[in-house]
């Protein structure tokens, strides 16, 4: 996979508004974890994922999401993962525990790994997400990137290899912080990804591409 930082197109084929600003903010202070590889898993699908609606932290997995989490657990069961760190939002927490049961590991939940707080936009459509927005009662883009930089640095300092279970927004930020492009096929719910470093350069590989890839916000 090319190592030139690139934005992911939305489901309509266009770059999400404000994504260039997210990439620029991340590039100003890149993430430099000491590990040479780690894993990332977006949570399983929820009802509001399917409807493309900004979600609260208590949004549960749908039946499909539970199936996706179980499938991801099977894919990750053969990987040498030592630590699972997850967002404490219900959809990520439950996905992480499905994987943890398969790996016989107890995930550590952290509020700092939650999705971006979109404040007053929660409950409204995320179909035309603007990453540069400044929602009332929510986080600015700069605040979100700074939070993710610190949270991911802490998570990836845990005993390796580490699995991070979080959100689509976290994946956008993580990729930008490492200078890795994220294509549409990597954004599917419960799609296990492996990040590998060769010298200073990072690359990402899906353990198995899902057929339900969707750039909708987590």
On the question of pLDDT at 216 being above 70, the answer is no
Domains of the chain, CATH where assigned? 36-206 (3.40.50.1240)
Q: Higher pLDDT residue, 62 or 181?
A: 62
In the set 115, 139, 167, 210, the catalytic residue is 115
> pLDDT by residue (tens digit) across 115-148?
999 999 999 999 989 999 999 999 999 999 999 9
Catalytic annotation on 14?
no
> pLDDT by residue (tens digit) across 100-124?
999 999 999 999 999 999 999 999 9
Residue 183 confidence class, pLDDT cut points 50, 70, 90:
confident
What would the DSSP string read from start to end of 135-178?
-TTS--HHHHHHHHHHHHHHHTTSSSSEEEEE-HHHHHHHHHHH
Q: Which of 45, 115, 112, 40 is nearest to 83 (CA)?
A: 40
Q: Are 194 and 180 in contact (CB under 8 A)?
A: no
pLDDT value of residue 218? 54
Q: Which of 75, 116, 86 is nearest to 205 (CA)?
A: 75
How far apart (Å, rounded) are the C-alpha atoms in residues 87 and 89? 5
Catalytic annotation on 136?
no
Q: In which element (H, E) is residue 66 found?
A: helix 63-76
How far apart (Å, rounded) are the C-alpha atoms in residues 171 and 51? 20
In the set 37, 43, 167, 210, the catalytic residue is 43
Q: How many CB atoms lie within 10 A of CB 216?
A: 19
pTM score, two decimals? 0.90
pLDDT value of residue 214? 46
Paired strand residues for 85: 108, 164
How far apart (Å, rounded) are the C-alpha atoms in residues 128 and 119? 16
Residue 9 confidence class, pLDDT cut points 50, 70, 90:
very low
pLDDT value of residue 211? 43
């Amino acid at each position: 996979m090319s190592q030139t930082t690139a934005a992911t197109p939305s489901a309509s084929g266009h770059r999400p508004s404000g994504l260039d600003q997210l990439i620029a903010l991340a590039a100003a202070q890149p993430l430099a974890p000491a590990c040479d590889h780690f894993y990332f898993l977006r949570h399983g699908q929820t009802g509001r994922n399917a409807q493309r609606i900004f979600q609260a932290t208590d949004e549960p997995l749908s039946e499909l999401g539970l199936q996706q989490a179980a499938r991801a657990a099977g894919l990750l069961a053969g990987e040498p993962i030592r630590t699972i760190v997850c967002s404490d939002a219900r959809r990520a927490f439950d996905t992480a525990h499905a994987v943890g049961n398969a790996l016989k590991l107890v995930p550590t939940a952290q509020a700092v790994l939650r999705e971006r707080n979109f404040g007053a936009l929660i409950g409204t459509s995320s179909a035309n997400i603007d990453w540069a927005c400044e929602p009332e009662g929510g986080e600015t883009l700069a605040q979100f990137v700074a939070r993710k930089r610190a949270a991911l640095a802490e998570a990836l300092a845990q005993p390796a290899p580490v699995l991070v279970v979080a959100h689509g927004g976290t994946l956008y930020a993580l990729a930008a912080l490492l200078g890795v492009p994220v294509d549409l096929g990597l954004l599917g719910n419960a799609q296990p990804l492996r990040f590998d470093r060769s010298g200073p350069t990072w690359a990402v590989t899906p353990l198995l591409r899902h057929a339900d890839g969707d750039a909708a916000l987590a």
